[in-house]
Every structure is written in structure tokens, then in C-alpha cells.
Amino acid sequence: MAYHVKKSVSKGVYHNLELLYQQINSLYFDNQIEAEITWGRFGTYAPRKRSIRLGSYCSQKKRILIHPAMDQACVPRICLERVIHHEMLHQKFPASKHPSGRRSVHGRQFKSAEQEFKNAELADAWFKDNLKRLLS
Ligand SMILES: [Zn+2]
């Protein structure tokens, strides 16, 4: 895991994860997702060069962790919603194993469900322009 969990901290300074999670759960998942959501902690987090993870989902603990750098006033809500939606999809579409033995984390169903997220292009454009600054 890239960073540690501070227990049950879903209310950040600027963004309330629990609230966003509930809205997304009702809007996109028919309230069928059951997960805990919390901010990760700064500290042991080491940014990875290629894939920068702003969120993660642990299927054993049913817990979504969101990178604490996202709790800033400058981060648009849509961007948080985009990351939360993505992590929630991991519960709906668990990783599967290909006949070849390769693990598929973001399979075809996952990706097509991800495309249902509204205004994804707005969130992605913001990430494209601001991700480096956000994590620096
Ligand atoms: Zn993912």
C-alpha cells in the first residue's frame, strides 16, 4: 500500500468524502456499493512515475483510500467524484484472471461502466493540467 490510513477520517478540510461517496453510490450504483471511504495520510507515500494513484481500493477491507493531496480548495469536486467513482467500480467489477493467467484489473466491463461517469472529460482535463502541481 502506498500510504497509511488514519482511521475513519472521511471529512477533510475542504472535501467531505463520505458525502461525495453517498451521492455517487445513489447516482451510479443504485446504492449497491458497500465500502468505507477515507483519506490516506501523507508520509510514506511515494509517488510513482508512470501511474499516479489518487485513490485505491482494498477488496478485503472494502475500503477506499483517497490521496490527501486531493483535499485542497483548488481541487474541483468533479475530480474527486471521478476518482471515487473509479474506486467504487473496483468493488462492482473485481479483478479477474484471464485464461492466459494475466490479471485484469480494469476489464472491458469496468471500462465501459467508467465511461458512464458524467463530465469525465472536465475532470480529466483538470488532472492533465494540474496533477504535477497537486502532487509536488
Ligand atoms: Zn483502478
Domain residue limits, the chain = 17-135
Nearest to 11 by CA among 1, 26, 21: 21
Give the distance (Å) from ligand 1 centre to CA of residue 73.
Answer: 24
Q: What is the dihedral of CA 51, 56, 60, 61, to 10 degrees?
A: 160
Give the distance (Å) from ligand 1 centre to CA of residue 11.
Answer: 23
Listed as ranges, residues in the chain with pLDDT below 50 are 1-2, 6-7, 44-45, 49-51
Domain spanning 17-135: CATH 3.30.2010.10: yes
Give the distance (Å) from ligand 1 centre to CA of residue 86.
Answer: 6
pLDDT score at 4:
52
Give the distance (Å) from ligand 1 centre to CA of residue 95.
Answer: 10
Q: What is the dihedral of CA 7, 10, 11, 15, to 10 degrees?
A: 140
Give the distance (Å) from ligand 1 centre to CA of residue 107.
Answer: 10
Give the distance (Å) from ligand 1 centre to CA of residue 61.
Answer: 16
Give the distance (Å) from ligand 1 centre to CA of residue 32.
Answer: 18
pTM listed for this prediction: 0.85
Q: What are the tens digits of pLDDT across the range 41-59?
A: 765 445 554 445 899 999 9
Give the distance (Å) from ligand 1 centre to CA of residue 63.
Answer: 13
Give the distance (Å) from ligand 1 centre to CA of residue 87.
Answer: 6
pLDDT score at 95:
87
pLDDT score at 50:
42
